[in-house]
């Protein structure tokens, strides 16, 4: 019997000893009931925790009924992430993004493979704040609201591009330039453009070590971009920032 593969992105206690978990796989973002998942003594406990990659099987009585997890095997528990306060906080923000915005994406195969890759990298390497930014930037493409760097968002010309207006999601040319729009600082723009356009597999450990970008400014740009285009504001980030004060 071939088991399904997925990553648990949310886990909530249900009733006294069970859980409702949310799993993303190559086909969907969906929820499962895990009997005994909240009990340390249960065999189901180990593979029903958030931020865990598992192989699993399930039953479903009808198309509209709740899926019940019947067996599971841990493929990766991301132990290095869970031992690092910084890495864990960054991954909580990634999990929140998947939970809140995942169903707005139709290409689950690409989303799942991208999530799988980014978690593996964060688990094995340092500099998780950069990888969180890379994840958030590239997820904009999957959401269909990726920033437009190659042409003017007003007239579509590819020449004389002079500034990026975040509230319009792209570049403006000299002829369409307007004082009504707020434009990004050119240095910040180049950093965002580099991180957005560079493929994930090109970010070697050696390359990331040489990066000297202002992650706080880029994060603020992303916060504004997500809120403006999606109405999404990270609750996880607000909680983490309060904890750090």
pLDDT tens sequence for the chain (245 residues): 578 999 999 999 988 899 999 999 999 999 999 998 888 888 888 889 999 999 999 998 887 888 999 989 999 999 999 999 999 999 999 999 999 999 999 999 999 999 999 999 999 999 999 999 999 999 999 999 999 999 999 999 999 998 898 888 999 998 888 766 778 888 999 999 999 999 999 999 899 989 988 999 999 999 999 999 999 998 888 777 766 65
Tell which of 76, 107, 137 closes a domain.
76
Q: For residue 175, tell me if it sits in a domain.
A: no
pLDDT, residue 7, reads 97
- Residue 139: per-residue pLDDT: 96
In which domain, by residue range, is 87 found? Answer: 79-146+181-244
Q: What Rg, from alpha-carbon coordinates, does the chain have?
A: 20
State the pLDDT at residue 1: 57
- Spell out the residues 6+ positions from residue 74 whose beta carbon is closer than 8 angstroms to its own: 46, 47, 52, 53, 54
Q: Looking at the domain assignment, is residue 126 inside a domain?
A: yes
With respect to residue 15, please indicate whether it lies within any of the assigned structural domains.
Answer: yes
8 Å CB contact between 56 and 81:
no
For residue 169, is it within any domain? no
Q: Give the CATH number of the domain where residue 50 resides.
A: 2.40.50.140
Does 42 share its domain with 86?
no
Pick the closest to residue 216 from 236, 241, 182 (CA basis). Answer: 241
Dihedral of CA atoms 203, 193, 197, 143 in degrees, nearest 10, equals 110
- Strand ranges of the sheet holding 170-173, from the earlier edge strand across to the other edge: 148-152, 170-173, 161-165
- At 244 the pLDDT is 60
Same domain (yes/no): 140, 232: yes
Domain boundary (27, 55, 76) is at 76
> Do both 188 and 104 map to the same domain?
yes
Query: How far is the C-alpha of 15 from the C-alpha of 71, rounded, in Å?
Result: 20
Tell me what pLDDT residue 78 has: 96
pLDDT in tens, 59-84: 988 878 889 999 899 999 999 999 99
Q: Do 72 and 84 fall into the same domain?
A: no
Token look-up 């983490």 returns: 240
pTM above 0.75, yes or no: yes
Domain count, the chain: 2
The pLDDT value given to residue 235: 87
């Amino acid at each position: 019997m071939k088991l399904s593969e997925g990553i648990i992105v949310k886990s909530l206690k249900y009733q006294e000893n069970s859980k409702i978990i949310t799993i993303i796989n190559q086909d969907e973002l969906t929820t499962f009931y895990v009997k005994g998942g909240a009990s340390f003594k249960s065999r189901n406990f180990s593979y029903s925790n958030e931020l865990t990659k598992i192989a699993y099987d399930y039953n479903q009585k009808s198309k509209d009924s709740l899926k019940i997890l019947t067996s599971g095997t841990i493929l990766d528990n991301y132990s290095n992430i869970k031992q690092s306060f910084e890495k864990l906080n960054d991954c909580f923000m990634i999990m929140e993004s998947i939970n809140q915005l995942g169903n707005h994406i139709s290409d689950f195969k690409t989303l799942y493979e991208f999530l799988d890759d980014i978690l593996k990298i964060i688990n094995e390497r340092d500099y998780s704040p950069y990888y969180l930014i890379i994840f958030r930037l590239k997820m904009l493409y999957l959401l269909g609201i990726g920033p437009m760097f190659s042409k003017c968002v007003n007239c579509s010309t590819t020449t004389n591009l002079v500034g990026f207006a975040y509230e319009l999601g792209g570049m403006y040319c000299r002829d369409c330039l307007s004082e009504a729009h707020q434009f990004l600082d050119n240095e910040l723009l180049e950093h965002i453009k580099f991180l957005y356009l560079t493929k994930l597999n090109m970010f070697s450990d050696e390359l990331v070590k040489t990066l000297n970008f202002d992650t706080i400014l880029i994060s603020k740009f992303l916060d504004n971009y997500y809120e403006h285009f999606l109405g999404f504001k990270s609750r996880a980030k607000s909680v983490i920032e309060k904890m750090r004060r």
